[in-house]
Amino acid sequence: MRRFVVGLLATIGAITLLLAGVGVYFAARGPFATRSLPSSMVLSLDLRSLPPETVSSDVLSSLWAGSSQDIVDTVQALWRAADDPRVSGLYVEIGDEDAGLARVQELREAIQRFRGKGKFVIGFAESLGSSGDHFSDYYLASALDRIWLQPSGGFGVAGLAIETPFVKAGLDKLGVRMEGGKRYEYKSAPDTFTETAMTAPARENLQQLIDALYGQFIEDVSRERHIAPAKLRQLIDSTPFDSERARTEGLVDKIGYRADAMDDVWQRAGKTHDLVSLSDYSDEDRRPKPRGDVIALVRVSGTIVSGPGSDTPLDDDLQAASDDIVDALDAAAQSKDVKAIVLRIDSPGGTYPAADAIADGVARARAAGKPVIVSMGDVAASGGYLAAVRADVIVAEPSTITGSIGVFGMWPVAMPDLLNTLGIKVDRLTAGANAGMFSSFHLPNAAQRAAIGRQLDAIYADFAHQVGEARQLDATRLDLAARGRVFGGVDARRAGLIDELGGLQLAFSIAKAKAGIDESKTIDVQRFPQDNDRLQRVIDRLSRLANVATNGPEMRPPRELRDLLRRLGISAHAGNVRLPPMPPLWH
């Protein structure tokens, strides 16, 4: 009885909190909230933290935040503002040195279009020096009309580096061995656990990748800042130096403080203007309006996993759950209003069956008569690439990391010396020759290793076959594009893995053309799953929580321990800790 009462109260409290959050959302941020914008304005955009691919992994948080913007919202708002006569300029706060380069390029393109409409863009950076490499934030800043840098900020923009820790020697000392395998030599993710240094193929591939990305930076910045490429390379190689030298070398335009930059903004505006955040500007567009032709936007963001997503009631866990994505694709394909689908992918991969299920969902949407255009974000590799491969057109930014056509699977095994040192004895009973093949306490035998190898070979062969068939690559081109290699967008297009270089707006433009929508017409971008579907998922999870509260959960370790174990790929139930069957994983 006590368990029932506690569970009932917990459920009522959770539902009350949810309803309160929904009420706040619709009262303060919803489509019918009253807001009026001035007849002339300058927009402000804080890019000290770049907009993420998704605003929140937490359904309730996203409802509560309301106007929090992801990269899609931000780019679309900038495109609208470029054509809005009320908007004369944009003020940008600069400072996210860890931003993904593809999102930086998305914003650069939107800002350049904004400038191309005769509008100014002024940015302020408190620092481009002191610590960090400041590669991403300066790359973004270089697209602006004018860069203000604080006198004490300094300039320390450096190049690109990849640092990979190798822990095999440490695991050996601990008495832990990683079992499994990979296909093939360029698939470098598992090397952290199985090698003591970069292999020659991995070094070759990754050096090619960062050389290509750095070359894009040099080309774009030298063009925008009117500095010869050789001179720019020389300046980057001589950093750090002070703000004044950055100004005299043409890397920034003005030295001053935030107030000085704002004075510059109002001088450029030419008359009295109001400063309006891009978020508030976007809120105006959420009011009911006549609908145009509908293009569906479906997201694949995070690690691709099988099933319907997180079991926790309010948290989506930054995972791309295949069930949810396939349902969204099916719903968009079946909707009479939807003319085309844009599939936005930002994922390093995941389990093979989950990624394959999404690829099948794409194929079925196309078979239903809906063009599917893929827009790739910072990364669309391995399973993230497989999810894209059956689309009509694949669009990626020049700096999107893609490819990684390969597979690996591994799990840790505690060696006898470690178990003896810890005083642990593991008794074993089996029924079946391969029972316990993926044990964390016993090494697989030769026959079992051979079976695992055959599984990896089969998965790789199927993955490569799907890519070759969908992308019409012959065996030679396919082999040069596969074996675990990763590419930037430019090299991926040369390899035949993508079709076009660009961002979301190019993907929407292609979708319009494929659907027969006039380029000049405004489209209505609708996200699938829609907000009411997200809310229903919250209610379903709360119902499961109420069922557990009233009927009693199984005995499980504390949530904190379960979360830690889950991140390590370990499941824990009823006091037993075990590794799941080895899933082929991508990275």
- Residues tagged active-site: 187, 382
Give the CA diameter of the chain.
83
DSSP 432-458: STTTTTT-SSS---HHHHHHHHHHHHH
Tokens describing residue 493: 């297009």
Place of tokens 């900020």: 153
Q: Which amino acid makes up residue 233?
A: R
Residue 270 burial (CB count, 10 A): 11
Cβ(186)–Cβ(202) below 8 Å? yes
Give CA separation, 412 vs 168, 171, 429, in Å: 11, 9, 20
DSSP 8-state secondary structure symbol assigned to residue 127: -
State the pairing for strand pair 293-301/303-305: unpaired
Task: Give 584: exposed, middle or buried? Use CB within 10 Å, 0-12, 13-18, 19+.
Answer: buried
Give the rounded distance of the alpha carbon of 475 from its chain centre. 31
Distance between CA 50 and CA 569 in Å, rounded?
A: 30
Pairing of the two strands 401-403 and 486-487: antiparallel
DSSP 54: S
Q: Are 371 and 341 in contact (CB under 8 A)?
A: yes
* E strand map for 382-507: 393-396, 401-403, 407-414, 486-487, 500-501
Distance CA 103, CA 394 (A): 17
For the CA atoms of 44, 47, 50, 56, the dihedral, rounded to the nearest 10 degrees, stands at -50
Residue for token pair 């669309």: 380
End-to-end CA distance of the chain: 48
Residue the block writes with tokens 């914008």: 37
> Coil, strand, or helix at residue 417?
helix
Structure tokens at 115: 């400038």
User: Among candidates 366, 298, 323, 281, which has minimal Cα distance to 83?
Assistant: 281
